Structure 1
């Protein structure tokens, strides 16, 4: 992919966050899932760190070697024509320099955006200090501007996802981090685990940049999120887990019923259609 093409995709991705309605970002874990999302009409694709890791036999949480993650990101980016944003978890590094090396690698792989989370993976210290995240985000923004590449920085806070701290102070902490990340240069604030409409509305009132939420059965529907003013809704590992659930259902039918209906009915993708995706 040329730098000009990558830059145009980045600008398109930025524009998707400026619409009047919430746009849904599906999260792919390999080439075929990404191509299916594109074929179904999605205007952009994200990756799922959990899905990529699990598909290759690793736990989520930066257990998968970075080179394997980057290789998958590159394969996905090359396989589709729509913009693709990469989930780089906490950046695969403790220092700003290490995180920047990761960002450079995924940009080279074809990503036009990133998710950067503040969860540490350490139960004794579940969240990075605000100042640490601010420094990382600011450095990534500076890198993006120095390369004249409008990289979309989706700064994620895991305050709600990890149920950090007391529930009575969680909103204040999330807002403090969201504002700090926004001021540091984030283009969007990602708050997975947030489902309460009143809290979503409060955060919308306080934060001026785009907000990204994660699909959850308890959250408002898509039309309601659009009315509130939420710009983006991510699918996360949901599609990957749903695919595995269907695979389990097929397997149980074969083992327990000795039948093959679920994988041979007329709704199943044909072999010819599958090969057409790859060509």
Structure 2
């Protein structure tokens, strides 16, 4: 992507996080899903989902897919659409902040203008030391500055994904990540409306949450002050559930459904 186009898409993605309307990101995992979502009226940006990408390639989540293959998919998604693309880079695919910075630089080169960076370690049971997590976010910001593309860093804290109900920890980490250069703070796993409202009010950056069954609706999240909502592997789950139902119907001798004629929009 030409540098000017990358800068323009990054600036647009940043603006969308500050727009009065909540930014709804229906996560994708390949070029076909990206084109499908991008073609829907009202879609303003695209976000990948690491779990879904890994599953599509036969890997478990948690960076098992490796940096090379993940960035290859990110590039395919970015090439498939004309919208800003935010890439789920998990923990940054690196042991050190410098390696995380290299990952972000390469994601920018692949066409991403936003990224997720999480503070959970690969086993999902522990959180990184906050100083280490801050250093990794700062390295990501430095890499973006070096590239001259104002990438939107969506810093994820896994406080609630561990099963803890600790809004103070989420708030403190969110504040620290914002000071280190994050543009948005992602708190997946939190579903309580009062807690979400308190985090949105208490963190000096837009906040993002993961919507799932049992969580507030997108409209309710907007009213609570959430700037960005995504769905992780959920959209892939919907697609595969539909595939399973269709396969079941056809294997049982059913009539081919109209949806069998659907094709993703062309490039």
The TM-score range, normalised by the shorter chain, is over 0.9
* Alignment-derived partner of residue 176 in structure 1: 172
Tell me, yes or no, if the aligned pair for 2:201 and 2:225 is still in contact at 8 Å. no
What is the distance in 2 between the residues matched to 1:210 and 1:65?
30
1:141 deviates by 1.4
* Alignment-derived partner of residue 270 in structure 1: 261
**TM-score (structure 1 length as normaliser):** 0.91
Please report the RMSD computed on the Cα atoms of aligned residues, expressed in angstroms: 1.5
Secondary structure, aligned partner of 1:9: helix
Tell me, yes or no, if the aligned pair for 2:66 and 2:93 is still in contact at 8 Å. no
1:22 deviates by 1.2
Tell me, yes or no, if the aligned pair for 2:100 and 2:139 is still in contact at 8 Å. no
Q: Which runs of 5+ in 2 are unaligned?
A: none
Which is worse superposed, 233-242 or 143-152?
A: 143-152
What is the distance in 2 between the residues matched to 1:180 and 1:206?
12
**TM-score (structure 2 length as normaliser):** 0.95
What is the distance in 2 between the residues matched to 1:71 and 1:234?
22
When Rg is computed on C-alpha atoms for both structures, the one with the higher figure is 1
What is the distance in 2 between the residues matched to 1:269 and 1:179?
48
Out of 226, 249, 267, the residue aligned to residue 253 of structure 1 is 249
What is the distance in 2 between the residues matched to 1:90 and 1:65?
11
* Alignment-derived partner of residue 132 in structure 2: 132
Tell me, yes or no, if the aligned pair for 2:211 and 2:218 is still in contact at 8 Å. no
Q: How does 1:173-252 map to 2 (within 5 A)?
A: 173-252=169-248
Q: How does 1:142-161 map to 2 (within 5 A)?
A: 142-161=142-161
Aligned length: 266
Q: How does 1:47-196 map to 2 (within 5 A)?
A: 47-122=48-123, 126-164=126-164, 167=165, 170-196=166-192
What is the distance in 2 between the residues matched to 1:242 and 1:147?
37
1:269 deviates by 5.5
Q: Which runs of 5+ in 1 are unaligned?
A: none
Tell me, yes or no, if the aligned pair for 1:21 and 1:229 is still in contact at 8 Å. no
Q: Deviations over 1:238-266 (max 9, x none)?
A: 110111111111222233x222x3xx333
1:145 deviates by 2.1
1:147 deviates by 2.7
What is the distance in 2 between the residues matched to 1:152 and 1:109?
15
What is the distance in 2 between the residues matched to 1:214 and 1:19?
19
Q: Deviations over 1:48-83 (max 9, x none)?
A: 101111111111110102111111110110010000
What is the distance in 1 between the residues matched to 2:147 and 2:92?
19
Which is worse superposed, 81-90 or 203-212?
A: 203-212
Structure 1 stretches of at least 4 aligned residues deviating more than 3 Å after TM superposition: none
What is the distance in 1 between the residues matched to 2:147 and 2:250?
54
* Alignment-derived partner of residue 40 in structure 2: 40
